[in-house]
Amino acid sequence: MLYAIISEDTEDSLQKRLSARPAHLQRLQQLQDEGRLVLAGPHPAIDSDNPGDTGFSGSLVVAEFASLGEAQSWADTDPYQEAGVYSRVTVKPFKQVFPQ
C-alpha cells in the first residue's frame, strides 16, 4: 500500500538539511530503485523553486510499504529526522487516484 510521509521542518533547518541531504537522498534512491517511490520533495518556504537562504518548510514522500508500521519505521530513521531537521512527521495511508 502507498503511504504519505508529511514532514514539517524546525525553524532555521537549512544547514541541518544540507548536511544530512546526501544520506537522505541515498535512502530515497533506494526506494526508487526498488520501484516503491511515487514522489518525493521539499516544500519551499517561499513561492519559489529555489528559495535560497529562506530554505524549506517541510517535505513530502509518497512511497509503497508493506504496512503503516513499516512506513513509520522508515520515516523515524530518516537522516533528516536524526539530524533534527523535522519538528513533526505524520505518516498515513495514501490512495492514489491520478494519474492512473
Number of other residues whose CB lies within 10 A of the CB of residue 78: 21
What residue spans define the domains of the chain? 2-94
Domain at 2-94, CATH from 3.30.420.40, 3.30.70.1150, 3.40.140.80, 3.30.70.1060:
3.30.70.1060
In angstroms, the Cα distances linking 9 to 44, 52, 88 are 11, 16, 7
User: What is the tens place of the pLDDT at every residue in 4-63?
Assistant: 999 999 999 999 999 999 999 999 999 999 999 999 999 999 999 999 999 999 999 999
Residue from 75, 68, 100 nearest 7 by CA: 75
In tens, the pLDDT along 55-91 reads 999 999 999 999 999 999 999 999 999 999 999 999 9
- pLDDT value for 100: 84
Classify residue 7 by its DSSP letter.
E
Strand bridging mode 2-9 / 86-94: antiparallel
Question: How far apart are the C-alpha atoms of 78 and 39, rounded to whole Å?
Answer: 16
